[in-house]
Amino acid sequence: MRKPAPVPEDEPHLGELWNRFRQNDEQAFDELAKRRYRLLFNYATKFTKDTELIKDCIQDLFLELWYRRTRLTDTSYVTVYLICALRNNLLRKLKVNTRLDDSADIAASCEGFTDNLTVETMLISSESMSQKEREIRNAINRLPKRQQEVIFLKFYEGLSNDEIAKVMEIERQTVSNFIYRAIAQLKTDLPSFSNVIPQIILSFFLKFLS
């Protein structure tokens, strides 16, 4: 059986940028941010829909890395490192915000955004999206929080189940359960999804009957 390669294609390049930036290379730092910013931003939307908070969080994360650059260690998987770091920062910040604001609890700050999709971010880039992609987005947003996160890590970044387990601090088996459940749910929710196979069979029967 073919083992999936654990490290994506541009990861060695990121590793190299990482090492250069640890040695004060400013261009390497900017390049690294450029390559991973979108991923980190989109990942953060799984925790909060407050885009300003997300932007600040990512800015802080990168600046923190820049301050500590000489003390950072070599890492073989920069992407997972950044994802983990952002996840910790976000959860910490969300907790603090919740404590300051009595009326909200962590559940609300994390999960209160799934039904009211009026937030501006939900519209962003949606013009460039196909009808089907919009349906998919809505279906994903209806999934439970943890499943959304798994789906993101798997289908946005292509992380392996092991890596997802590491990021989310759960068992590998739990990850694969989440994936199967989420895919099954998406299959029920998305007409276009379940149509793929039956469509062919259906058209066959229709032709046959006519």
Residues binding other proteins (CB under 8 A): 1-5, 8-10, 12-13, 16, 26, 29-31, 33-34, 37-38, 41-42, 45, 51, 55, 58-59, 62-63, 66-67, 121-122, 124-125, 129-130, 132-134, 136-137, 140, 151-152, 154-158, 160-161, 176, 179-180, 183-184, 187, 193, 196-197, 200, 203-204, 207-208
Q: Show the tokens assigned to 47.
A: 């925790």
Contact 65, 71 (CB under 8 A): no
CB closer to other proteins, 21 vs 93:
21
User: Any idea what DSSP says for residue 74?
Assistant: P
Contacts of 119 (CB under 8 A, 6+ apart): 49, 113
Residue 105 Cβ, how far from other proteins at the closest point, in Å? Answer: 24
Identify residue 207 by its one-letter amino acid code: K
Nearest-angstrom CA–CA distance, 201 and 195: 10
Residue 99 Cβ, how far from other proteins at the closest point, in Å? Answer: 26
Residue 184 Cβ, how far from other proteins at the closest point, in Å? Answer: 7
Separation of CA 33 from chain center: 16
CB closer to other proteins, 55 vs 92:
55
Residue 103 Cβ, how far from other proteins at the closest point, in Å? Answer: 26
Contact 130, 192 (CB under 8 A): no
Nearest-angstrom CA–CA distance, 20 and 30: 11
CB closer to other proteins, 108 vs 156:
156
